[in-house]
Amino acid sequence: MKKLLALLIAAAFSAPALAADAKPAATADLAKGEATATQICGACHSFDGTRGLPANPILAGQFPEYLVKQLQDFKSGQRVNAIMQGFAAILSDEDMLNVAAFYASKSAKPGDAKDKDTLLLGERIYRGGIADRQIAACAGCHSPNGAGIPKQYPRLAGQHGEYAELQLSAFRSGERKNSQPMLDVAAKMNDREIKAVADYMAGLH
């Protein structure tokens, strides 16, 4: 009993010291994020991250944690893209946090699927996967409406179909390697399936 009491007293005195040593969670500065978006990112992603060039991702409304991870992966070389690696190299962790929060604070504008001939195929893959090849349904991780799951899986609703197709193809070839689940899924898909599901996701709201 005396030993237990001594341990409790020691813990009580050590807790404040531990709390004092703990670093507070970083908070984002949206004004600084806006400045980075304007000066560095806007040429390719548009100022507010909405519907820029189809080959570049829409960033508006994306989870900040996901955006930070992608920037970190570009900076470390885990994700390869000559243009993005160059830009990420000049960003500090604080810059990444700020610009990710800025883009996340914007509302994503809805998109549209463009190919009516593959719409049903894209929907079937997105919602149900492809059972005979053990391809998981996209909705299982990215939610039925493409909203994603914060801190885990990115928002896909309204994303440029062209960009999504490029990324799925890059996962399939191994050119993009920074998500094992996506490597596993894309490896089993053919060109038509990739194109169909990418186009379908563009029309999700």
- What is the predicted pLDDT for the residue at 18? 37
Contact 199, 118 (CB under 8 A): yes
Contact 39, 29 (CB under 8 A): no
Bridge partners of 135, per DSSP, are: 130
Task: Indicate whether 57 and 96 sit together in one domain.
Answer: yes
- What is the predicted pLDDT for the residue at 7? 41
Task: Indicate whether 45 and 95 sit together in one domain.
Answer: yes
Task: Indicate whether 142 and 95 sit together in one domain.
Answer: no
User: How much is the pTM?
Assistant: 0.86
Which residue in 161, 194, 163 sits closest to 57, CA to CA?
Answer: 163
Domain limits for position 193:
119-202
Judge whether 179 lies within some domain.
Answer: yes
Judge whether 7 lies within some domain.
Answer: no
Which residue in 108, 105, 100 sits closest to 72, CA to CA?
Answer: 100
Q: Which residues of the chain have pLDDT under 70?
A: 1-25
Task: Indicate whether 152 and 196 sit together in one domain.
Answer: yes
The CATH number for 35's domain is: 1.10.760.10
Give the tens place of pLDDT for each residue, 26-80: 799 999 999 999 999 999 999 899 988 999 999 999 999 999 999 999 999 999 9
- What is the predicted pLDDT for the residue at 11? 43
Main-chain dihedrals φ then ψ at residue 153, nearest 5 degrees: -130, 135
Contact 161, 123 (CB under 8 A): no
Q: Which residue has the tokens 């909203």?
A: 147
Task: Indicate whether 170 and 128 sit together in one domain.
Answer: yes
